[in-house]
């Protein structure tokens, strides 16, 4: 379990490793875990467009207990911002299923599911 500002995020024991091995997120995760300052353009030359784009928002990508999150502005005005756990591609379907039908989801409809995912 990972804690983020008092909110519990349940993740598998090997989730951090799944983040690092992910073909889409892996480079971003590895860069963030390896340093406290953004990579240079030279460091990013051979990386994907997704990695380059994510690295432009370096200050929004944070590490909590070995897991990488992206801080986002809340879609709800009463909330300032939130940390979004970066989900490896192989876990996206499971995460969506849990948001829609799990104890957190409860079949409340499209908007409630989107609120949990975003």
| Cα–Cα distance list, 108 to 14, 45, 114, 116 (Å) | 30, 44, 10, 11
- Over the stretch 23-55, which tens digit does the pLDDT of each residue have? 989 999 999 999 999 999 999 999 999 899 989
Tokens 């953004």: give the residue.
38
Tokens 């370096």: give the residue.
58
Beta bridge partners of 64: 67
- Over the stretch 51-82, which tens digit does the pLDDT of each residue have? 999 899 999 999 888 889 988 776 666 666 67
Cα distance from N-terminal residue to C-terminal residue, the chain: 20
């Amino acid at each position: 379990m990972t804690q983020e500002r008092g909110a519990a995020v349940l993740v598998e024991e090997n989730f951090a490793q799944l983040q690092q091995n992910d073909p889409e997120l892996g480079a971003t995760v590895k860069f963030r875990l390896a340093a406290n300052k953004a990579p240079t353009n030279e460091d990013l030359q051979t990386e994907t467009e997704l990695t380059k784009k994510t690295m432009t928002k370096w200050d929004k990508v944070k590490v909590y207990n070995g897991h990488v999150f992206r801080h986002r502005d809340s879609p709800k005005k009463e909330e300032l911002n939130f940390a979004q756990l970066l989900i490896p591609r192989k876990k996206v379907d499971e995460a969506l299923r849990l948001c829609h039908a799990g104890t957190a989801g409860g079949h409340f409809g499209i908007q409630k599911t989107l609120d949990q995912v975003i």
